[in-house]
Amino acid sequence: MRLLIVDDEVIIRTGLASVIAWHELGIVILPPAASAEEALTRLAEERPHILMTDIRMNGKSGLELAEEAQHLLPELEVIILSGYDDFSYAQQAIRNGVTDYLLKTSKPEEIIKTVLQAKGRITERWAEKSREGQLLRENRERKFARWVIEGHTNSGSCPSFLAFDEEHALPVQSIEQVSGDKRPVSRQVVVIEAEGWGRSSDALLRFAVQNMIEEVLPGTIAQVDKQYIVCVLPVASENEVSVYRIKEGIDRMEAWLKCSLRAVLGEPVNHSSELHRSYQTALLALQYRGLLHTKVWRYQEVNGRRGGKTVLTHEEETTLGTLLMDNDPVTLTTWIRELITRLIAEPDVTPGSYVACLHSVIIAGHRWLARTLQAIGREQPSRLEPWTPETDKKPAEIGDELFHHLYDVMQAYHSRMGQGQAAHVQKAIGYIENALAQDISLQQVAGQVHLHPGHLSELFKKEMGVTFGDFVTDMRIRRAMDMLVVSPAKVSEIAAISGYEDVKYFSRLFKKHTGKTPSEYREQALAFKSSGS
């Protein structure tokens, strides 16, 4: 498809002709014309498909050129270049049949988008005029989809353009460019994602990438499928060479199209009937976007991963509860970012383990809220909206979403706290509930609620009717009682979770408060449950 640029300013016309890799977009750039008059003398012979002209020039204007050019070439697509002062003229030009207009200050990606839109309109007209060609293209796309994407390899022989045998092999020149061999050792499916032009232009961007990749990577067969560009590539005997070639091609396309691309290489295969398997492995590897610090990766790099951390440790849950109680958004944000960084750095992390661990953070936050409000006798909030992270997002974006959800949990707690002396005691109780497995001192808790230890001790006696130490002991025994009924953990483990390393001391204390040893209490409680059911 041919493009003619017309402008009487040499810096504009030569700049537009050279700043964009037109040939990689399937556009042949004709020698720019310095005036409307020159352009008109060349139209009949050179027959451009797209005309890009300045609106104001010495001699005939761009509008006059557009009108005369469309008489000579009725299907010509005309794009007007204008300055801000020419905006009203540009609007008039569009009313008179000019296809589109661009400001001279437009960025390269805007110019590319406008020209590709014009190219798309021309292609559609060609397709309408050539029904046979359209049917052939649709048939090729359908065969590609059935063979590669859907895996219906039993529905007939392999399409010739996908066949591996020498009769239908790719041109020798293309293969030598790829691998330095006479024919490809194998092929593999590469799935590419593109973004950066805005949601409304996503389809156009994928169309641009499809056009460009077959030029950038000779021998590639590419097709747009929904939100992806699916490619079949010949690969060299060393798969690392393929990664290098594709990364080099991705870099070139990003530079010219002003976008962001990610490419995932499926497993190499040695027979055309296995292309669907290569496609499936590429999709599996694509799930790792957001977990890898690269824009090109192979299925083999992630295939052996067993999964990383899936739940928070008890210590991490305790830290999270302390952060939520402190009502400190900045420290909470830092903790979330550090957690995400650690999760992504795990060698065996998978999308499943990553999502599970982040989801466990939310569960821990909700559990902390319910437990703490219950401890201080406050009503629990209505159920918070669930949240499940998406692994295709950047870590910073996921961190922001996780923070906002935990911030809601934090506010749900603090909005139910009153003011004055009772509120200080309630906050202290909430902190104690969250830290029962640790050493808890009056000085430590007083520091958390910003009171003098002696004053907090007096408030505790006044509000709760017991000393601080007796209250902590009572809470620990109550937790142990609950766990003995619902958990199969050993008595020693329950003692540790309740804050007692010495199991003998724990047992004596437990019997003093309940009249039974921990084992007797568990047996009696379980027997009661069995008889009740």
Query: HEC states along 43-57?
Result: HHHHCCCEEEEECCC
276-290, 334-348, 373-387, 440-454: range with lowest mean pLDDT:
373-387
Least confident of 239-248, 307-316, 382-391, 479-488: 382-391
Q: Is residue 80 over pLDDT 80?
A: yes
Tell me the two tokens of residue 157: 């022989």
Q: Which of 113, 129, 145 is the last residue of a domain?
A: 129
Are residue 187 and residue 298 in the same domain, yes or no? yes
**In this structure, are 504 and 384 located in the same domain?**
no
Provide the pLDDT for residue 86: 64
Element (H, E) at 235: strand 228-235
Q: Is the pLDDT of residue 239 over 60?
A: no
According to DSSP, residue 146 is labeled I
Residue 134 lies in a domain: no
Query: Is the pLDDT confidence value at 110 over 70?
Result: yes
CATH assignment of the domain containing 71: 3.40.50.2300
Residue 172 is predicted with a pLDDT of: 32
**Pair (453, 504) in one structural domain:** no
> What value does the mean pLDDT take over residues 176-200?
71
Q: Is residue 67 part of a domain?
A: yes
Predicted TM-score (pTM) above 0.85: no
Look at the chain and report how many structural domains it folds into.
Answer: 4
Question: Averaged over 298-304, what is the pLDDT?
Answer: 92
Closest to 97 measured CA to CA, from 118, 70, 124? 70
Tell me which of 136-140, 309-313, 510-514 is least confident. 136-140
Please name every residue paired with 234 in a beta bridge, in sequence order, or none if there are none. 187
List pLDDT tens digits, range 392-418. 677 778 888 899 889 888 888 777 665
Q: How many CB atoms lie within 10 A of CB 65?
A: 27
The strand pair at 186-195 and 260-265 is best described as antiparallel
323, 392: one domain: yes
Q: Is residue 224 part of a domain?
A: yes
Report the CATH number that the domain containing residue 251 is assigned in CATH.
3.30.70.270
Q: What is the mean pLDDT of residues 434-443?
A: 79
Q: Are residues 19 and 81 in the same domain?
A: yes
- What is the phi/psi pair of residue 224, to 5°? -80, 130
Q: Is residue 172 part of a domain?
A: no
- The answer on 273 and 240 residing in a single domain is yes
The predicted-structure confidence for 340-382, as pLDDT tens digits, reads as follows: 999 999 999 999 899 899 989 999 998 888 888 777 666 666 5
Task: Out of 282, 303, 324, pick the residue that ends a domain.
Answer: 303
Last residue of a domain, one of 303, 331, 366: 303
Range of the domain at 40: 2-129
At 524, the pLDDT band (50, 70, 90 cuts) reads confident
Q: Tell me: pLDDT of 210 over 80.
A: yes
206 Cβ neighbours under 8 A, 6+ residues apart: 194, 224, 227, 228, 229
Split at pLDDT 50, 70, 90, the class of 298 is very high
The pair of structure tokens assigned to 26 is 């399937």
Is residue 183 pLDDT above 50, yes or no? no
Same domain assignment for residues 41 and 61? yes
Per-residue pLDDT band for 148 (boundaries 50, 70, 90) equals: very high
pLDDT tens-place string over residues 10-48: 999 999 998 898 988 889 999 999 999 999 999 988 999
Chain segment 454-508, per-residue pLDDT in tens: 888 888 888 788 888 888 888 889 888 888 888 888 889 888 888 888 889 999 9
Whether residues 328 and 446 fall in one domain: yes
Q: Is the pLDDT of residue 520 over 60?
A: yes
- How is residue 33 annotated by DSSP? B
Same domain for 459 and 322: yes
Residues 366 and 449 in one domain: yes
- 368 and 288 co-located in one domain: no
Predicted pLDDT of residue 381:
62
Would you say residue 415 lies in a domain? Answer: yes
Q: Which residues contact 100 (CB under 8 A, 6 or more apart)?
A: 79, 80, 94, 114, 117, 118
Q: Of 128-137, 197-206, 266-275, which gets the smallest average pLDDT?
A: 128-137
- N-to-C CA span, the chain: 80
Please report whether residue 137 resides in a domain. no
CATH number of the domain at 480, please: 1.10.10.60
- Quote the CA–CA distance of 175 and 264 in Å, as a whole number: 21
Answer yes or no: are the C-beta atoms of 62 and 54 closer than 8 Å: yes
Residues 454 and 500 grouped into a single domain: no
State the burial class of residue 6 (Cβ atoms within 10 Å of its Cβ: 0-12, 13-18, 19+). buried
pLDDT at residue 251 in the model = 93
Residue 142 lies in a domain: no
pLDDT averaged over every residue in the chain: 83
Instruction: Assess if residue 319 is contained within a domain.
Output: yes
